[in-house]
Amino acid sequence: MASVADQVSGISVPAAADAPARAPAAAVASSSITLPAVGERELRLDLFRGLALWLIFIDHLPTSLLTWLTLRNYGFSDATEIFIFISGYTAAFVYGRALLEQGFVVSAARILRRAWQIYVAHVFLFTIFLAEISYVATHFENPLYSEEMGIMDFLKQPDVTIVQALLLRFRPVNMDVLPLYIVLMLALPLILVSMRWRADLTLALSVLLYAATWEFDLYFSSYPSGVWMFNPLAWQLLFVFGAWCALGGARRMSRILSSNITLWVSIVYLIFAFFVTLTWYVPQLGHVLPRRLEQWMYPIDKTDLDVLRFAHFLALAAITVRFLPNDWPGLKSPWLKPLMLCGQHSLEIFCLGVFLAFAGHFILAEVAGGAALHALISLCGIVIMSSVAWLISWYKHSADKSARKGARGNADLAGGG
Amino acid sequence: MRSGLTFGPALGLALLALVAGASVVRAEEVETCPVPASMLSTESRLSKVADAVNDGRALDILVIGSRSSSIGGSQDGAYPARLQAALKDKLPQLAVNISVELQPKQTAEETVSGFVKLLETKKPTLVIWQTGTVDAMRSVDPDDFHAAVDQGVTALQNAGADVILMNLQYSPRTETMISGSPYMDNIRAVAQEHDVPLFDRFSIMRQWNEQGDFDLFSAVHGPELARRVHDCIGRALSNFIFDAAHLGPAQQN
C-alpha cells in the first residue's frame, strides 16, 4: 500500500533519482499547470493532515474533555475540511506528475488502484462495525432506548444490507469520509486532464457544480433512505480547490495571500465564527446575535459544505500559510514527528482511527468509564496511531533499502508491491 | 470539561457527607438529577400557557412524540405522566390535563400530515412535540426534515397552541449508529425561526450521564432506570414550562 504522501516526499528512492532527468521533460510538455520540484516537500501538509486525523479520531469518540480541544468547537469548519483539501492537494501533486510523465492511461490506472485500496479499507471497517452492532443488538436491551434500538432492524435482512454497503449506499455513522474520498478519487483522472487543459476553468466548473448542487438540490441517495452525509457534488469543491492549489494555483495566489486585507478579513471572520460557536455552548449569549442574522445563517449545513464552512476553512488556511512558513524550523522538531508520521500514512491511520473509535466506544460502554478513563482512551488511541504510523514508515524504509539491493522482484512475485 | 470540573464539588460534598452523616440517608431517598439553569431557561415565551394559568383556566397539554416519549411503548411512568404530576404539585389550584399522541416509527413529515385532524378534535393550550429520532434513524434528508418541522410548528401555532420542541434522547450505546446532530441542529433552527422554546433533552440527559446521576451506558434489562430518567425529564420539563411562561413562585402557591 503506497501512501500518497510518501510519494510526495520522494522517500521512494528510485523516483527521486529519476526526477532531475525528468523535470525538464515535464517543463517542456506545455500545459497550464506547474508542479513544484521533487524533494521540495510540503511538511505543513503532513503536519495538518496528521492533525486532522487526530481530531477526527477524537471527534468520533463520545464527547469528553479532549473534545473541547477540537476545531469544531471554535468555528464552523472542522477536521474533515482539512482532510479533504489536503487529500486533493497531495493527490493532484502525485498523480498530476504521473499524468505529465507517464500519460493519461497509466496515471488513471494508478488512481483507480488507489481508489480500490480505499474501497477495500472501507469494507474492512464495515465488517468491524457489523461485529460491534451485532454484539450490542444481542446483549443490550434497555427499555429506555427501545426506540433507538430499532436502528438494528437492518440485521433482520442482512442480504440487502450487505449488498447496499458494498454499493456504498448503506453506511454506518462516522464511516462517511471514505466513500466521499472514493468518489472524489474516481473523478480525479477527469479533474487532472481538465486541469492540464485549463486549470482556472476547471476550478470555475467545480464552483459551478457546487452552486448547481445548492440550486437544484442534487444529492447521492443512500439506503434505506436519505442522502450521503457528505454530498460529493458539494465537497468536490474543496478537493478540486486543493488540486488547483497544488498545480500552481497557490503560487499564483501568493500576492492575495500576503496582502494585509486578506489577513484582516480572515481574522475578523474567524473571530465572528468563534463568537457564533460560543453562543451554541453558552446559551445565555444567544440573544446577542440579531435574529435576522440567525435566520439567514442557520442551519450551517455540513452535508452540502455550507459556504460559511468553506469560508471558515479558507480563512484558517490563509492565516496558517501566512504565519507558518514551510521553512519554519519547528516543522523538523521531534515533538511534531508523531503528527507528521500520521499525516504521511493518512489512509492507514484514518482507518485505524475509525477502528480505535469503535473500540473506544466499546470499552467505555463495557467498563462504564468516567472522565479519566475517557481521557486515557483518547490518549492511548493517539499513541497507537502514532506508533503504527512510525512502524509503517520504518517498514517502508527498510523495504526500500532491500529493494535497492535488488530484492525488488520478490514483492511482485508474491502478488504484492 | 464539565465532568472534570464537578470533581471538586463532588469531593467537597463527600467531605460534607462525612461530617453530617445523618443527612446522607435522606439524600438517597430523593432522586437528584440537577439540570443547569441555562438548559432550562429560554428567550421564547409561552404566552398562552401564561394566560391560562393567570386566568385560572384548565391547562390542556398535548404531547406528540415517538416511542421515546413512552417507556417501551407504555405511558405508565413515562415523562408526560411525570410532567402532569409535577405540574399538579406546582399548580394545585388548576386542572392540568395531559394527553399523549404516540406516533411510533413516523417521521416528522408523516406526523405532520396528521396534525390538522388531530387538532380538530383537541384544542390544547400547549403542544410538546418530541421529534427527530425516527428521522435520524432513517437518515431522512435534513432539509426535508427542516421543512417538515417548520410546517408542523406553523400548523400548531395556527391552531392557537403554544409549542415546545423536544429533541432526541442522549443514547450513548447507539451513538456509533445514529447520527442525531443534523436533526438536532434543524430542530434548533426551527425553534429559533418560530421563536418557540426548545427543550434540549439530549444535552440534559448527557449532563446527567457525565455527572453520574445516571449511567446511561448501562445494559440493565428492567424498566427501573427508564422510570427514574423519565421522572427527572418530567420534572425538568415542568420547570422549563414555568420559565418559558414566566410563572414565578407566586403561582406555585
CB pairs under 8 A between A and B: 143
- B131 to chain A, minimum CA–CA distance in Å? 12
Buried-exposed string B91-106: b where 16+ CB fall within 10 A, e elsewhere: beebebebebbbbeeb
Among A8-17, A51-60, A95-104, A400-409, the minimum mean pLDDT is found in: A8-17
Task: Write down the pLDDT at residue A83.
Answer: 94
Maximal C-alpha separation, chain B? 60
Residue B192 domain boundaries? 31-248
How far is residue B27's CA from residue B17's CA, in Å, rounded to a whole number? 10
Phi and psi at residue A22, in whole multiples of 5°?
Answer: -85, -20
Task: Write down the pLDDT at residue B151.
Answer: 96
Residue B1 forms part of a structural domain: no
Write out the three cell numbers for A79: 477536521
Contact A227 B139 (CB under 8 A): yes
**Percent of chain A surpassing pLDDT 90:** 44
CATH of the domain at B49: 3.40.50.1110
Residue A217 forms part of a structural domain: yes
Peptide bond into B223 cis (omega under 30): no
Q: How many domains, in total, are found in chain B?
A: 1
Residue A218 forms part of a structural domain: yes
Q: Which residue did the predictor score with more confidence, A44 or A362?
A: A44
If pLDDT is split at 50, 70 and 90, which confidence band does A410 have?
very low
- A4 to chain B, minimum CA–CA distance in Å? 29
Among A286-300, A317-331, B119-133, B234-248, the minimum mean pLDDT is found in: A286-300
Residue B137 forms part of a structural domain: yes
H-type alpha helices, A41-78:
43-60
Residues 111-170 of A with CB under 8 A from B: 129, 132-133, 136, 139-152
Determine how β-strand B59-65 pairs with β-strand B126-130. Answer: parallel
Residues 78-137 of B with CB under 8 A from A: 104-105, 133-134, 137
The neighbour count for residue A205, using CB atoms within 10 Å, is 14
**CA nearest A370 in B: which residue?**
B210
Buried-exposed string B205-216: b where 16+ CB fall within 10 A, e elsewhere: bbbbbbbebbeb
Task: Write down the pLDDT at residue A38.
Answer: 54
Residues 12-71 of A with CB under 8 A from B: 62-65, 68
How far is residue A24's CA from residue A229's CA, in Å, rounded to a whole number? 44
Location of C-alpha cell 421564547: B44
Determine how β-strand B198-199 pairs with β-strand B126-130. Answer: unpaired
A217: left (phi over 0), alpha (psi -120 to 50) or beta: left
Among A407-416, B49-58, B126-135, the minimum mean pLDDT is found in: A407-416
User: Is-contact B99 B62, C-beta < 8 A?
Assistant: yes
Q: Which residue did the predictor score with more confidence, A9 or A346?
A: A346
Q: Which of A170-174, A395-399, B6-10, B138-142 has the highest mean pLDDT?
A: A395-399
Rg (CA), chain A: 22
Distances (CA, A) of A293 to A269, B181, B193: 14, 21, 11
**A241-A168-A57 Cα angle (round to 5):** 65
Residue A219 has pLDDT above 50, yes or no: yes
Which own/partner pairs from A217-221 qualify as long-range (CB within 8 Å, at least 24 positions apart)?
A217/B143, A219/A303, A219/B141, A220/A183, A221/A169
Residue B22 has pLDDT above 60, yes or no: no
Residue A407 forms part of a structural domain: no
Phi and psi at residue A64, in whole multiples of 5°?
Answer: -150, -175
- B169 to chain A, minimum CA–CA distance in Å? 8
DSSP E strands in A274-347: the ranges are none
**CA nearest B72 in A: which residue?**
A143
Residue B94 has pLDDT above 80, yes or no: yes
Residue A381 has pLDDT above 80, yes or no: yes
User: Is-contact A94 A8, C-beta < 8 A?
Assistant: yes
One-letter amino acid of B221: H
Residue B109 forms part of a structural domain: yes
Among A52-66, B35-49, B58-72, the minimum mean pLDDT is found in: A52-66
If pLDDT is split at 50, 70 and 90, which confidence band does A41 have?
low
Residue A7 has pLDDT above 50, yes or no: no
If pLDDT is split at 50, 70 and 90, which confidence band does B161 have?
very high
If pLDDT is split at 50, 70 and 90, which confidence band does A36 have?
low
Task: Write down the pLDDT at residue B29.
Answer: 41
If pLDDT is split at 50, 70 and 90, which confidence band does A134 have?
confident
Residue B57 has pLDDT above 50, yes or no: yes
Q: Which residue did the predictor score with more confidence, A399 or A313?
A: A313
User: Is-contact A152 A133, C-beta < 8 A?
Assistant: yes
If pLDDT is split at 50, 70 and 90, which confidence band does B59 have?
very high
Residue B27 has pLDDT above 60, yes or no: no
Q: Which residue did the predictor score with more confidence, B243 or A4?
A: B243
How far is residue A85's CA from residue A303's CA, in Å, rounded to a whole number? 16
How far is residue B68's CA from residue B105's CA, in Å, rounded to a whole number? 10
Distances (CA, A) of B133 to A227, A229, B130, B179: 16, 17, 9, 10
Residue A175 forms part of a structural domain: yes
Mean per-residue pLDDT for B59-88? Answer: 92
Residue A328 forms part of a structural domain: yes
User: Is-contact A220 A185, C-beta < 8 A?
Assistant: no
* ipTM attached to this prediction: 0.78
Q: What is the DSSP string of B14-47?
A: HHHHHHTHHHHHHHHHS------GGGG--SS--H
Strand order in the sheet with B126-130: B96-102, B59-65, B126-130, B162-166, B198-199
Residue A150 forms part of a structural domain: yes
Residue A417 forms part of a structural domain: no
How far is residue A212's CA from residue A32's CA, in Å, rounded to a whole number? 26
Find the CB nearest B71 among A143, A229, A365.
Answer: A143
Residues 255-294 of A with CB under 8 A from B: 282-284, 286-287, 291, 294
Location of C-alpha cell 443512500: A222
Q: Which residue did the predictor score with more confidence, B76 or B65?
A: B65
Task: Write down the pLDDT at residue A40.
Answer: 58
User: Is-contact A179 A171, C-beta < 8 A?
Assistant: yes
Residue A19 has pLDDT above 70, yes or no: no
Contact B176 A173 (CB under 8 A): yes
Q: Which residue did the predictor score with more confidence, A215 or A23?
A: A215
Task: Write down the pLDDT at residue B1.
Answer: 34
Q: Which residue did the predictor score with more confidence, B232 or B11?
A: B232
Task: Write down the pLDDT at residue A5.
Answer: 40
> Measuring CA to CA, which residue among A221, A162, A181 is closest to residue B139?
A221
Average of per-residue pLDDT values in chain B:
83
Q: Is B77 on the interface with A (CB under 8 A)?
A: no
Task: Write down the pLDDT at residue B18.
Answer: 41
- B183 to chain A, minimum CA–CA distance in Å? 10
- A334 to chain B, minimum CA–CA distance in Å? 29
Find the CB nearest A229 among B66, B179, B219.
Answer: B179
A305: left (phi over 0), alpha (psi -120 to 50) or beta: left
If pLDDT is split at 50, 70 and 90, which confidence band does A325 have?
confident
Location of C-alpha cell 502478488: A415
Residue A279 domain boundaries? 4-401
Rg (CA), chain B: 19
Task: Write down the pLDDT at residue A388.
Answer: 96
Residue B253 has pLDDT above 60, yes or no: no
Write out the three cell numbers for A383: 499513541
One-letter amino acid of B126: L
Contact A371 B38 (CB under 8 A): no
* A223 SS3 class: coil
> Measuring CA to CA, which residue among B126, B100, B132 is closest to residue B200?
B132
Task: Write down the pLDDT at residue A313.
Answer: 95
Residue B7 forms part of a structural domain: no
Mean per-residue pLDDT for A275-292? Answer: 76
Residue B82's Cβ-side half-sphere holds a number of Cα atoms within 13 Å equal to: 20
User: Is-contact A144 B232, C-beta < 8 A?
Assistant: no
Task: Write down the pLDDT at residue A20.
Answer: 41
User: Is-contact B31 B232, C-beta < 8 A?
Assistant: yes
If pLDDT is split at 50, 70 and 90, which confidence band does B166 have?
very high
How far is residue A217's CA from residue A227's CA, in Å, rounded to a whole number? 11
DSSP state, residue A86: H
Contact A148 B72 (CB under 8 A): no
Q: What is the DSSP string of A111-178?
A: HHHHHHHHHHHHHHHHHHHHHHHHHHHHH---GGGTTGGGGGGGGG-HHHHHHHHHTT-S--TT--HH
Task: Write down the pLDDT at residue B62.
Answer: 95
Location of C-alpha cell 440550486: A215
Write out the three cell numbers for A340: 507528521
Q: How many domains, in total, are found in chain A?
A: 1
Residue B211 has pLDDT above 90, yes or no: no
DSSP E strands in B36-189: the ranges are 59-65, 96-102, 126-130, 162-166
Task: Write down the pLDDT at residue A359.
Answer: 86
How far is residue B151's CA from residue A275's CA, in Å, rounded to a whole number? 30
How far is residue B163's CA from residue B198's CA, in Å, rounded to a whole number? 9
Angle between helices A79-102 and A13-28 (to 10 degrees): 70
Among A11-25, A377-391, B175-189, the minimum mean pLDDT is found in: A11-25
